[in-house]
């Protein structure tokens, strides 16, 4: 007995490329490519179409193919998808194909996906699709890690590489049961809190804090500068779509406290407008992302005394170089650094004097600059 199945209406893109007749049509493909000078390009969304239903929290591959008007695959383009407001960079995977992953974060009956292709010699092209982001069958909701949602905690700068031993923050949805606020209870730090864990490369990351929308963790010291690691979030057995991040030797960041840089005076009191730093005084800058130390420290472990950074640190206050006395991990804590420096003469006193750490040629806090109250 036969059976029939109804299919929902869905638009399918068809791109017809017509070559000139006669001699060009009789050429081999390589000869046609040499004889034809492309003047424009077109794209076809290969994995989405108008009217598709996509389940919230489940990753969807966005794949598009780009060809020119000579019928050849377009290579060397820059491709971007904007899916329901989220930027999704598309990587070139060969044959004119560009691919990326989008994870719908909320229901939307009319979510728009816009593919845009940029090329150095051909005009930019765009194509739009309308899809419906719907609740998954049975109400299942996987954890979601936002695109580029893993950042160094001190500066919170998206797009920067991560650093061995650095304190990182992960931002997303459904990363722990609703209402969860789980904190590390011991040192060495635990690698699972509230049934949530973060796998970075081949190592489970030590965890400081877990909640449904934010996790604070330590990037394991096992990560190797110059390589790329995969980050996989596991929340109660549900896996978020993996993401990849570059590892760098250093990406300095200065923590903030009470609206200023997190800096202590010589008595380890917090620098504030009521207790400003003073010219000639030694200050302790609380920082992150300063990289490997000597002696080395195990991931998640408390730091010993005198564990100094291998890459030198420079400090400027209002652009004036400060004498750096030491640069090391804070003893007894995990992943936190302190840089001791002398406030230099020539700094103009004020309540918001710029403070910058530079390491390996990289300045701290490019997105969230910090300041310091300074008195004569």
- Confidence (pLDDT) at 139: 80
- Choice among 15-24, 73-82, 221-230, 350-359 with the minimum mean pLDDT: 15-24
Which residue in 170, 175, 171 sits closest to 211, CA to CA?
175
| pLDDT at residue 49 is higher than 90 | no
- Confidence (pLDDT) at 29: 52
Instruction: Tell me the C-alpha distance between 347 and 276, whole Å.
Output: 13
| pLDDT at residue 260 is higher than 60 | yes
Cis peptide bond N-terminal to 295, omega within 30: yes
* DSSP letters spanning 147-160: EEEEEETTT--TTP
Q: How far apart are the first and last CA of the chain?
A: 93
- What would the pLDDT profile of 234-253 be if each residue is shown by its tens digit? 999 999 999 999 999 999 99
Cis peptide bond N-terminal to 218, omega within 30: no
Residue 10 lies in a domain: no
- Please tell me the pTM assigned to this model: 0.81
Residue 3 lies in a domain: no
| pLDDT at residue 9 is higher than 80 | no
Q: Name the helix (H) or strand (E) containing 328.
A: strand 320-329
Q: Is residue 15 very low, low, confident or very high in pLDDT (cuts 50, 70, 90)?
A: very low
| pLDDT at residue 328 is higher than 90 | yes
Q: Which of 246, 269, 293 is the last residue of a domain?
A: 246
Q: Is residue 346 very low, low, confident or very high in pLDDT (cuts 50, 70, 90)?
A: very high
Domain range spanning residue 218? 144-246
The answer on 112 and 213 residing in a single domain is no
Residue 15 lies in a domain: no
- What would the pLDDT profile of 355-375 be if each residue is shown by its tens digit? 999 999 999 999 999 999 999
For residues 113 and 63, the answer to whether their CB atoms sit within 8 Å is no
User: What string of H, E and C letters represents the secondary structure of 53-83?
Assistant: EEECCCCEEEEEEEEECCCCECCCCEEEEEE
Q: Which of 246, 271, 290 is the last residue of a domain?
A: 246
- Tally of CB atoms within 10 A around 332: 11
Q: Is residue 208 very low, low, confident or very high in pLDDT (cuts 50, 70, 90)?
A: very high
Q: Is residue 30 very low, low, confident or very high in pLDDT (cuts 50, 70, 90)?
A: low
For residues 57 and 141, the answer to whether their CB atoms sit within 8 Å is yes
Only one residue has tokens 């389940």, namely 55
Phi, psi of 141 (to 5 degrees): -130, 115
CATH number assigned to the domain comprising residue 200: 2.60.40.10
The answer on 58 and 118 residing in a single domain is yes
- What would the pLDDT profile of 169-178 be if each residue is shown by its tens digit? 999 999 999 8
Structure-block tokens of residue 303: 């730091």
For residues 284 and 263, the answer to whether their CB atoms sit within 8 Å is yes
Number of domains the chain is built from:
3
Q: Write the CA distances from 254 to 104, 262, 368, integer angstroms.
A: 33, 7, 9
- What would the pLDDT profile of 80-128 be if each residue is shown by its tens digit? 999 999 999 999 999 999 999 999 999 999 999 999 999 999 999 999 9
Q: What is the dihedral of CA 16, 22, 23, 26, to 10 degrees?
A: 60
Q: Which of 74, 109, 139 is the last residue of a domain?
A: 139
């Amino acid at each position: 007995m036969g059976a029939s199945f109804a299919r929902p209406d869905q638009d399918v893109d068809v791109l017809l490329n017509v070559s000139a007749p006669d001699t060009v049509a009789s050429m081999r493909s390589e000869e046609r490519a040499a004889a034809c000078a492309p003047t424009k390009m077109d794209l076809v969304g290969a994995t989405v179409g108008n009217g598709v239903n996509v389940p919230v929290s489940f990753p969807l591959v966005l794949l598009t193919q780009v060809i020119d008007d000579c019928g050849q695959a377009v290579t060397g383009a820059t491709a971007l998808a904007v899916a329901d407001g989220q930027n999704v960079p598309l990587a070139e995977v060969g044959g004119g194909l560009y691919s990326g992953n989008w994870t719908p974060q909320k229901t939307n009956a009319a979510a728009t996906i816009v593919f845009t292709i940029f090329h150095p010699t051909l005009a930019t092209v765009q194509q739009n699709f309308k899809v419906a982001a719907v609740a998954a069958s049975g109400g299942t909701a996987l954890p979601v890690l936002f695109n580029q949602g893993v950042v160094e905690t001190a500066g919170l700068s998206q797009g920067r590489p991560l650093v061995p031993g650095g304190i990182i923050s992960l931002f997303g949805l459904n990363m722990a049961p609703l209402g969860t606020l789980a904190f590390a209870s011991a040192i060495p730090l635990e690698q699972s809190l509230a049934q949530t864990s973060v796998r970075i490369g081949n190592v489970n990351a030590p965890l400081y804090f877990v909640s449904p929308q934010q996790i604070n963790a330590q990037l394991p010291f096992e990560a190797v500068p110059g390589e790329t690691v995969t980050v996989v979030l596991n929340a109660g057995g549900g896996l978020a779509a993996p993401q990849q991040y570059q590892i760098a030797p250093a990406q300095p960041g200065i923590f903030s406290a009470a609206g200023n840089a997190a800096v202590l005076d010589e008595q380890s009191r917090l620098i504030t407008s009521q207790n400003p730093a003073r010219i000639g005084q030694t200050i302790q800058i609380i920082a992150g992302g300063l990289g490997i130390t000597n002696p080395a420290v195990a991931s998640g472990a408390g730091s010993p005394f005198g564990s100094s950074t291998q890459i030198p640190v420079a400090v400027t206050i209002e652009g004036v170089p400060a004498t750096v006395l030491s640069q090391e991990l804070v003893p007894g804590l995990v992943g936190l650094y302190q840089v001791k420096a002398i406030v230099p003469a020539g700094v103009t006193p004020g309540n918001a004097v710029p403070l910058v750490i530079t390491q390996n040629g990289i300045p701290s806090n490019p997105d969230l600059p910090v300041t310091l109250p300074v008195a004569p």
